[in-house]
A and B are shown apart, each in its own frame.
Chain A
Amino acid sequence: MMRYIKYTLGTIWAAIALILILILFPGLRTISEGLSKAPFMKIHPMYTGGEIIDSVKKSNRTIYIHRPVFNGLIKERMLGFVQIDWHGNIPNVINDTIDYNKDTIPDFIINIDTRNNITDLKKISAYVYDCGVSTQTSFGWVIRVNVVNIK
């Protein structure tokens, strides 16, 4: 009796396997869209730079300030980064003062020679560590300044 149950279950499972493969490619887009809505299907802030919390409009460009990223696996890390984006027409020299934590006190002054890719960071806040990334992107320029978690 047990043997026939095994045979039946095995045959059903093999038939399901065949159906799964047959519907996989025609239904790939639909299944992928369904999966993309799962709660875990978003890129970690360590890669995206985190959500934008402030923007400053300048004459020919907009500065976007992201929420500082300290995300660890379980709890926040001591050292993280804050991402600043420049969208629009990027001048040969960017010179901006940034208040990343919105306490109305400037935290650092960034000076970027965009032609030669030379970045100079002047720290004002004690929580600012150094400049980790400074690079041209398809939309303009991005920097990631390493900062200490004040919590």
Chain B
Amino acid sequence: MDNILNNYKATRNIWRSILYSLPMLLITLVLMSGGDLNFKGHAELYAFTITFIFLNTCFFLMHYKGKTDLYRSVVFIVFAIFLSFSFITNMFEYRGAMTFNQADIIECNVPFCHLVIPMMIVPAALTESIIFPGSILNGFANISTMLVLWGVATIVMGRGFCSWGCFYGGWDDGFSRLIKKPVIKRIDTIWRWMPFAVLFVVVISASLTLVPTYCDWICPFKAVTEFEAVTSAESAIKAVIFFSLFAMLVIILPLLTKKRTQCTSLCPLGALNSLSNKISAFTVKIDTKRCTMCMKCVKTCKLSALTPDDVKAGRASLLCSKCGQCIDTCRQGAIQFSIRGFEAGKLIDLSRNLFIFISFLFMAIFASGSIQNGLSKILTLIIN
């Protein structure tokens, strides 16, 4: 049964989709299991099996149905929820609380997160050291491993990291999908440049104080991972800021606007990642000959990365996170993933297949550990 989908000239041929999904199936099997299929118990076996089937089903459907954002967002949101669940339960097992204290800082036991990266670049260059109390190579979420993961993903996907790799983005992405129509419809596009201002301020302040100021004072995702134990007025103020910003930017505003407001208006790493869109091998292009200027893509973009001017110019802006929502929305099939150097309308299928294979593989392997860990804990509780 041949069927031309909205934007992706896909043939709904189950055998083609199976053939396309086969390499993903084999690679995820090997990388998720580490080549060892001996599990410690039933809970681990079931967690592995469920995660493996879930990820590969989403990937298969992405090809078969020709919808990118729908299946990406399912994995992305599940990743965010399980990362937080897995992280917090690990912290309770390890420390007895989801807070860290002075001893954890002095012993450099704080797990590293990619949001620190923009603040550590200038001090690393000038002092030849990292301004974060974590482990360089050993232990959970060590600095070296996280830098490699972020670095490669950002070079390959550009700001695609924000929609395919960031384990926080799924939170506001998820809340932005809960209400069908936005309550707040008009948002000034000036706000989309706000992360660059935040980036500038946190880079300067972190360089002067040698403290990752965004993590120390602002990061809303402290509310769903870990934060400093409340032992003083200062730490109490910080906790209030973390939870207030999480409530406002990750829950309330995404619900009201249907936008990823934390990512659009606050995240300094998002601003840094935007710059890498200039070198990424993949872009989002608009075929101006097919475009009817309906501007549905502009309305639907969760990161406000598209404006009418961008549509007229035939390409997404620097802020595009390649989530694929505009591509799924366009009824004319005018928007497409493209390999850098090719004009809109060229190599549509190849560009899409290659980009989603690369991006999904990164997300699947990165997410699988947290999903398996979280599921294993839940299943252990049920089985026992």
- Same complex for A and B? Answer yes
Residues of A within 8 A of B (CB): 6-11, 13-14, 16-18, 20-22, 24-26, 28, 31-33, 35-36, 39-49, 71-74, 83, 133, 135-138, 142, 144
Given the complex, which residues of A lie within 8 Å of B105, measured CB to CB? Answer: 47
* B18 within 8 A of partner (CB): no
B149 CB contact (under 8 Å) in A24, A33, A43: A24
Q: Are A137 and B130 in contact (CB under 8 A)?
A: no
Most buried by A among B149, B152, B357: B152
Question: How far apart are B20's CB and chain A's nearest CB, in angstroms?
Answer: 14
Q: Are A35 and B129 in contact (CB under 8 A)?
A: no
Given the complex, which residues of A lie within 8 Å of B155, measured CB to CB? Answer: 17, 20
A40 CB contact (under 8 Å) in B102, B128, B153, B341: B128
Q: Are A40 and B339 in contact (CB under 8 A)?
A: no
A20–B357 CA distance with the chains assembled, in angstroms: 13
Most buried by B among A18, A33, A71: A18
* B133 within 8 A of partner (CB): yes
Instruction: Scan residues 111-150 of chain B and give those whose CB is less than 8 A from a CB of chain A.
Output: 122-134, 136-137, 142-145, 147-149
Q: Are B106 and A73 in contact (CB under 8 A)?
A: no
List the A residue with the shortest CB-CB distance to B155: A20
Q: Are A14 and B108 in contact (CB under 8 A)?
A: no
Q: Are B31 and A10 in contact (CB under 8 A)?
A: no
Q: Are A44 and B131 in contact (CB under 8 A)?
A: yes
Q: Are A44 and B365 in contact (CB under 8 A)?
A: no
Q: Are A40 and B136 in contact (CB under 8 A)?
A: no
Question: How far apart are B118's CB and chain A's nearest CB, in angstroms?
Answer: 15
Question: How far apart are B346's CB and chain A's nearest CB, in angstroms?
Answer: 8
Q: Are B281 and A16 in contact (CB under 8 A)?
A: yes
Given the complex, which residues of B lie within 8 Å of A39, measured CB to CB? Answer: 128
